[in-house]
Amino acid sequence: MIRETPAIRERVNQLRTKVVGILAPSDVIEDARQASSPLHHLFEWDEKKAAYKHWIDTAREIIACVNIEITTHKSTFKVGRYVHTQGQTPGYEDIVKIRDNRDLAMEVLTQEFQCVANALRRARETAIALGLESEIDGLMKLVSAREVVIIRRAQLARHRRVPAPPRKSRRASAEVS
């Protein structure tokens, strides 16, 4: 992930003032092609390496588009079949297998709530910039409180290795779709 620096901010702001209309990714690429651009080093200019990185991203999208239909006693819904895990061996694991490993399931759920909380933080900052912060404050509090509970449970389970409480007999069934 690229982090903002003063040089990046300044150059992107300069580009925005040069273009007519909306700043597009192609404007940034064209500027970055120049070795003197402060954005140049942020790109992979070796076409073989850049192609491989693009293929990796495409492979991630392919994995993420595979869904599974989950049926509980309450409803049926589709969810991504493979979930990105960041454990000792980062990659994609079948959600059905994750469901049977409480520690890993808590880690995955924690990651999901962290993504939601980060998206809401960004939305709140955007709302503040637009003068609409009251629209998002209540939702932020709900998600942040739930995230804290899930993270604490995951940390306790990891550190104590307390056996997970028995699961209810009503298990969700999974059908590949």
Q: Which residues fall within 8 angstroms of residue 19, CB to CB, at 6 or more apart? A: 27
Q: Which residues fall within 8 angstroms of residue 170, CB to CB, at 6 or more apart? A: 72, 73
Amino acid occupying residue 155: Q
Cβ atoms of 76 and 173 closer than 8 Å:
no
Residue 147, pLDDT score: 67
The mean pLDDT of 117-128, rounded to a whole number, is 86
Q: Which residues fall within 8 angstroms of residue 99, CB to CB, at 6 or more apart? A: 105, 172
- Provide the H-helix boundaries in the chain: 6-18, 25-32, 47-65, 95-99, 102-129, 134-160
Q: Which residues fall within 8 angstroms of residue 133, CB to CB, at 6 or more apart? A: 124, 127
For the whole prediction, is pTM greater than 0.85?
Answer: no
pLDDT band at 93 (very low <50, low <70, confident <90, very high): confident
